[in-house]
Chain A
Amino acid sequence: MSNPATDPKPVEDAQGDGRWMSLHNSFLHDAKEKEPEVVLIGDSLIALMAQSRLWKEMFEPLHCLNFGIGGDNTQHVLWRVLNGELDQVQPKVIVLLVGTNNHSHSADQVAEGVLAVTRAIQEKQPASHLIVIGLLPRGQQPNPLREKHCAVNKRLAEELEGRAMTTFLRVEDKEFMSAEGTIPRNVMYDFLHLTMDKGYQKLCEPLLEEIQNLLGTYVKVESTSFDTSSMAGEFDSAGPN
């Protein structure tokens, strides 16, 4: 039986306002207009990152485009990749996080789905470096979905190991939890979505480190001193400050 998680499909307009397709078109437009060095694509965890405090300070200066859509499954992201969202851009880094919404699919199917998206991305943009983020835990207490995500991540880690131009970024589950294994509301306010400061900080710090390594640049938050990207930047002209 074929895997529905790998069968590219757009989201059906069940509510009648065509929002998903409008978003897709808006992304196509951005892809043509902007000059991104980093493109992030995936579900609501990617989409809401653009509202976090860190986004404006740390991601915007890196010339990022956010192609996340809330509720997307692997097959929806796959459809978007195959239908132009990565056609006109030439980013140095692409970040992918999707899979938590594939509720009716098994762990293996979800892993296959994510892998299918990675293959599509790398076919479109072979020169970009791809960062695949491992699925995050969810639910206040330990529950079967958390185990499912662990299984997906295990499978992804195996398959992506050693693949060129690919990084599998797994933020340890315990980062998001207290000692007893419960997820506090100040990290995930609804036990699924990350909070704008504390939650996203846990995800974005390792993500930003990886992105900046790949881009070879360092974003200064309090930018006062002279900063160049050449080796001349090592000479910090120590002013009276």
Chain B
Amino acid sequence: MSTLEDPSLERHFRGHRDVVTAVDFNPNMTQLASSSLDNNLMVWNFKAKMRAYRFVGHKDAVNCVKFSPSGHLVASASRDKTVRLWIPSVKGESTVFRAHTANVRSVDFSSDGQALCTASDDKTIKLWTVHRQKFMFSLLQHSNWVRTAKFSPDGRLVVSGSDDKTVLLWDLQSRQCLHTFHETGGFVNCVDFHPSGTCIASACTDGGVKIWDIRMNKILQNHTAHAGSVNKVSFHASGNYLLTGSDDGTLKIFDLLEGRIFYTLHGHQGPVTSVMFSRDGQYFASGGHDEQVLVWKTNFDAECEANIKSKRKRDRSVEGPTIDDIHPRQDRISPRPVSSENTIDARQEIRRLEDVTQGITNVMPTEQLGTSKSGSTMTSGAGDSSAPMTQQLDSTLSPELSDFVQHVASQLDILTQTVSLLEKRMTMTENQLKECMNSQRKET
């Protein structure tokens, strides 16, 4: 019987100059990426002596950042309507593509690293290839800003959340919406898939966190513990814990097997705007309004990990977790003391943990050299390779011409959407025709 330890604060990164909007660990745990309303990305290195990188390039707030499954690329989504793919090194090469006609709120990689999905205020979700950033298709049904869209672990589904108060589940094969979950409490800020792919969590502006079963299309758990809007949710690798960050200034960890809060963590001043578990669940990171990025060690999952490994050995022939694994079980004899939720206050610790402030290297695309931004040393970026037309033209054309080009680009966007709707219509017509012919055949 191992002793369970409480989560502890490990690192404290400072460098952003505005609200931190997203955080993500790379798969081999050597780096942490964060995005901010200050228009920049930061990539923090865990190795003590290494400097952090500040990637400059986006022209407006960066809303989301994600490492590719291989860790070789970082994708960022911005209010400037573009998505950038960066190589997280000191050279910081990136390519940029105009993804939407409005603010891009989120970007996610499929687990095979081949596809990207982006969600935007233009009410659409778009799927792209990672290689060459080719547009594949749009998912159109939301009637308001889409704040979040994530791939399922098996890559066959996408779940999205929107200000139209719905969470939609999409099938990527048929490009149809499979199910609509109604979140009556408010806008949906964030959604995430359970590692088993059988259920999803949603974070709502009314402070609620819901777990929905996507096979039975019903709600499994509804937690109302947060006192303010819940901004982000992240499942632990075991699927037994859910991490949330809220406007009420706290992070909470929910025990999904017991169906209650396990920990409440204080560390940020003001709203917590981003949270994320590492891929193996041993660490988690958070970012807030206070411009800080905090890295915590989970600790309480040590028992979990051992259990997962032994369980895998035993149940290799049996199917994955079933619905019973998620339901709170009242009569379960808990190995840990059934105390009320644990509160961790790391605010004092932050002051002690005066982080050996990493030097920050500004990494910029070549066009911007010469315009110094901060005191730290500058290194030249290798420039954007194979950047799409609009980006290269911007720097050399007159404003009227570049306006015209942007207008044409947005018209093309609209045309693309129209064509995809026409395609859909045609497919539906063909299906109906097939049905008609079949029923006719049956009658004769």
Q: Which of A215-229 contact B (CB under 8 A)?
A: 219-220, 223, 226-229
Which B62-114 residues sit within 8 Å CB-CB of chain A?
A: 101
Q: Does B428 contact A (CB under 8 A)?
A: yes
B417 at interface, CB cutoff 8 A: yes
Interface residues in B418-432 by Cβ distance below 8 A to A read: 418, 421-422, 424-425, 428
Q: In the complex, are the beta carbons of A228 and B424 less than 8 A apart?
A: no
A164 part of interface (Cβ distance < 8 Å) = no
Is A237's CB under 8 angstroms from B421's CB? Answer: yes
Interface 9-residue window, one of B50-58, B128-136, B138-146, B348-356: B138-146
Most buried by A among B122, B413, B421: B421
For A1, the chain B residues whose CB sits under 8 A away are none
Chain B residues with CB under 8 Å of A33's CB are 247, 271
1/0 contact trace for B382-423 toward A, CB 8 Å? 000000000000000000000000000000011001100110
Known: A228-B124, A237-B425, A237-B428. A219 touches B417 (CB 8 A): no
- Chain A residues lying within 8 Å of B144, measured Cβ to Cβ, are 61
Q: Is the CB of A235 within 8 A of B414?
A: no
Complex contact A235–B425 (CB within 8 A):
yes
Q: Digit string of A5-35 for contact with B (CB within 8 Å is 1, else 0)?
A: 0000000000000000000000000000100
B124 cross-chain contacts in A, Cβ below 8 A: 228
- Of residues B144, B164, B422, which shows the largest number of chain A Cβ atoms within 10 Å of its Cβ? B144
Question: Is A63 at the interface (CB under 8 A from chain B)?
Answer: yes
Contact partner, A223, options B164, B271, B422, B425, Cβ 8 Å: B164
Q: Which of A33, A228, A229 has the most CB of B within 10 A?
A: A228
A179 contacts partner chain B, Cβ-Cβ < 8 Å: no
Contacts of A235 in B (CB 8 A): 418, 421-422, 425
Whether A230 pairs with B414 at a CB distance below 8 angstroms is yes
Q: How far is the CA of A223 from the CA of B165 in the complex (A)?
A: 11
Residue from B101, B143, B424, B425 whose CB has the most chain A CB atoms within 10 Å: B143
B122 x A229 contact (CB < 8 A): yes
A227 to B145, CA, bound (A): 12
Complex contacts, A223 vs chain B, CB 8 Å = 143, 164, 166
- The total of chain B residues at the interface (CB under 8 A) is 23
Contact B421–A232 (Cβ < 8 Å):
yes
The minimal Cβ–Cβ distance linking B427 to chain A, given in whole angstroms, is: 10
Q: How far is the CA of A239 from the CA of B176 in the complex (A)?
A: 12
**Are A227 and B123 in contact, CB atoms less than 8 angstroms apart?**
yes
CB within 8 A of B143: which of A220, A237, A239?
A: A220
- On chain A, the residues within 8 Å of B271 by CB distance are 33
**Does any Cβ of A come within 8 Å of B163's Cβ?**
yes
In the assembled complex, the Cα of A239 lies from the Cα of B425 at a distance in Å of 9
Residues of A within 8 A of B123 (CB): 227-229
Given contacts A61-B163, A232-B414, contact A226 B141 (CB under 8 A): yes
Across the interface, do A61 and B164 meet the contact criterion of CB distance under 8 Å?
Answer: yes
The answer, among B143, B418, B425, B428, for a CB contact under 8 Å with A227, is: B143
Question: In the complex, which residues of chain A have a beta carbon less than 8 angstroms from the beta carbon of B141?
Answer: 226-227
Minimum CB–CB distance for A144 against chain B, Å: 44
Given A61-B143, A232-B414, A237-B428, A226 and B421 contact (CB-CB distance below 8 Å): yes
The residue of chain A having its C-beta at the shortest distance from the C-beta of B184 within the complex is: A56
Known: A61-B163, A228-B417, A231-B414. A219 touches B422 (CB 8 A): no
B163 and A231 form a contact (CB under 8 A): no
- With known contacts A61-B164, A237-B424, A230–B143 Cβ distance under 8 A: no
Chain A residues contacting B424 (CB-CB under 8 Å) are 237
Q: Shortest distance in angstroms between B217's beta carbon and chain A's nearest beta carbon?
A: 17
- In the complex, how many angstroms separate the beta carbon of A58 from the nearest chain B beta carbon? 12
| Chain B contact residues, CB within 8 Å of chain A | 101, 122-124, 140-141, 143-145, 163-164, 166, 247, 271, 413-414, 417-418, 421-422, 424-425, 428
Query: Other CB < 8 Å A-B pairs besides A232-B414, A237-B424, 5 of them?
Result: A61-B143, A219-B143, A226-B421, A228-B123, A230-B101
| Nearest 5 A/B pairs, CB to CB | A232-B418, A230-B414, A232-B417, A227-B143, A223-B143
